[in-house]
Structure 1
Amino acid sequence: MWSRALAGIVAGFFLAAAATGLVAWLPPGPWQKALVPSLIAFVPLWMLAALWAFSFRSPLRAWLTLAGCAALGFAALGLLRLTGAVQ
């Protein structure tokens, strides 16, 4: 149970951070206009990721899934930045 909670807290934090970055960068227009709404959305996204960690059968699956989704999110952010798709 503790390792799932730790997966939700640590890996969920990075997953919520990647999702927050995507929420800020994906809408059209400058990202500065979406900064405040995306920062407001960070805490609920982090709580959802922490709750999601308890839906897995094993702590290893929770860690791998949450960390993998966070890595994919940061990869998408990096790809958006490298391609110049964000302003």
Structure 2
Amino acid sequence: MWPRAFAGLIAGLFVAAAITGLAAWLPPGPWAFALVPSLIAFIPLWMLAAVWAFSFRSGARAWGVMGACAIGGFLLLWLLRLSGVVQ
């Protein structure tokens, strides 16, 4: 139970941060207009990620899947910035 809880708290933080970054960058217009709503949505997203961690059978699987999702999210943010789609 504790490994899944820590996966939800730590890896879930990065999953929520990646989703928040995508939510701030992807709508049309300047990202500054979407900053406050995406920051308000960060805490509920983090809580959802923490609950999601308990759907896995083991802590290792929770860490693996949630870590891969976080890395994928930040990789997508980096690729969007590198390609010039977002500023």
The TM-score normalised by the length of structure 1 is 0.98
Instruction: Give the match for residue 69 of structure 2.
Output: 69
Aligned-pair CA distance for 1:60:
0.7
Instruction: Give the match for residue 55 of structure 2.
Output: 55
* Partner Cα separation in structure 1 for residue 55 and residue 79 of structure 2: 30
Instruction: Give the match for residue 37 of structure 1.
Output: 37
Gaps of 5+ in 2: none
The TM-score normalised by the length of structure 2 is 0.98
The CA RMSD over aligned residues, in Å, is 0.5
* Partner Cα separation in structure 2 for residue 58 and residue 9 of structure 1: 15
The one-letter code sitting in structure 1 at the alignment partner of 2:25 is W
Runs of 4+ in 1 over 6 A off after TM superposition: none
Q: Identical aligned pairs, as a percentage? A: 70
SS at match of 1:34: helix
* Partner Cα separation in structure 2 for residue 56 and residue 2 of structure 1: 12
